[in-house]
Amino acid sequence: MAFRVAEGESMRSNNDDPPASEVTSQDSCQAASEKDVEFLGDQTNVASKADIPPDGGYGWVCTACLFLINANTWGVNSSWGVFLNHYLSNSSFAGATHLEYALIGGLSISQALLISPAVAAVNDRFGTRVTLLIGTILVSVAMLTSSFADQVWILFLTQGACFGYGMGFLYITASAILPQWFSTKRSLALGIASSGAGFGGLAYNLGAGAGIETVGWKWTYRILAIATLVSNLGCSLLLKDRNRTVQPNNRAFDMREFGHISVILVIWWGFVTELGYIVLLYSLPNYATSIGLTAQQGSVVGAMLNLGLAVGRPAVGYLSDRLGRINIATVMTALCGIFCLAIWVPAKTYGVLILFALAAGTVTGTFWGCVVPVTAEVVGLQRLPAAFGMICLPLVLPTTFAEAIALQLVSFRGYLSSQVFVGCF
């Protein structure tokens, strides 16, 4: 019996212990598993960094840089209304028509959008800094060469095409960088940055108006060339992206984006609102002189529109973070149309026109203040560069021809038809 019990215990012991080969296999699997866990742990950390932006830090430096880039691209471009008023009032270029002048202003924006696929390709191939430096050079060269124009077709190439390409390289590249630094404060940061277009427009409208009166339009262009070079160069050197963490899709043409209904809706929103925004941006100084105000007063009216824009866009950004980006974008777009029909149409005095410029400025151009955070919200940070580039392409049409359509309406039926056109869009 003792022998049988000992034998049974021995058998149970042998059955409980796994074979040597199984022990070796289990040990090796456990070691491999520990290595895999360690390796996957590093990957998880990288992913968490990609999913959670710093929401501040150096992002505020990038916000300041984008603020100045907007001031020295969109802000400078808004001063075209002052030059346009001077050209129309003084017949500066023999034989030039209102339609040709309008197309120049439209080209400066539409070409910035048209070049977006090329910007994405250059950014992917050479990096952010090289792309920004190319834009800096093009903008300053455009301003400088415009000062030597003696025929209107030269302005098509300089103020229109060259400036537009430079603005595209700067604005599109910098706008895609800033969302990488923020999450809960994204709309606020972009609102502050986009207000640079308003502050720049305020400064450059007043500066261009005073410069044309004192040193002439040619030297005014040269001063603008120096100012844009210094500012944009500094910002190009300070801006930093987080592409290694976010790993954005910088593909130049990604036609798949047109298959997403959210992208189509953003395009439609931009297409419709740009028809009115471009006209409002360029037409106010000329409208002021058409009701008997001076050219200097016209430049002040244009400056007040930009002041309203500068004040309004940070507020729009703050409210967007609190109440929803798409909700605020819809409300502000509707308010701009109401202001145009309710205040601009009956505005026949300097004071009322100033009031309209300030009120409309706070809500106008909401598309450009909200399009980047709205697009980032609907497509994500990785798809943002490609999606934003594809959104820009269809907007070439309204930005090119909006002012031309408005001036044709003015020539046939007066400013009332143009005002209704802006209010409806």
Domain 53-241+252-424 fold is Growth Hormone; Chain: A; (1.20.1250)
Averaged pLDDT, groups of 10, the chain, 425 residues long: 42 46 46 43 41 80 95 91 84 82 86 88 89 97 94 93 95 87 82 88 89 93 96 95 73 68 86 85 84 87 87 83 80 89 91 93 81 79 75 88 83 81 77
pLDDT at residue 12, as a whole number = 44
Cα 347 from Cα 344, distance rounded (Å)? 5
CB atoms within 10 A of CB 191: 25
CA distances from 89 to 159, 205, 278, 286, 358 (A): 19, 17, 21, 9, 25
pLDDT at residue 14, as a whole number = 46
pLDDT at residue 40, as a whole number = 40
pLDDT at residue 131, as a whole number = 95
| Under 8 Å between Cβ of 54 and 63 | no
pLDDT digits (tens, 9 = 90+) for 173-222: 998 888 888 877 877 888 889 889 889 988 998 899 899 999 999 999 99
Cα 165 from Cα 174, distance rounded (Å)? 14
Whole-structure pTM value:
0.74
pLDDT at residue 249, as a whole number = 62
Cα 169 from Cα 100, distance rounded (Å)? 25
Cα 279 from Cα 364, distance rounded (Å)? 11
Q: What angle do CA 53, 55, 57 make, to 5 degrees?
A: 110
pLDDT at residue 234, as a whole number = 96
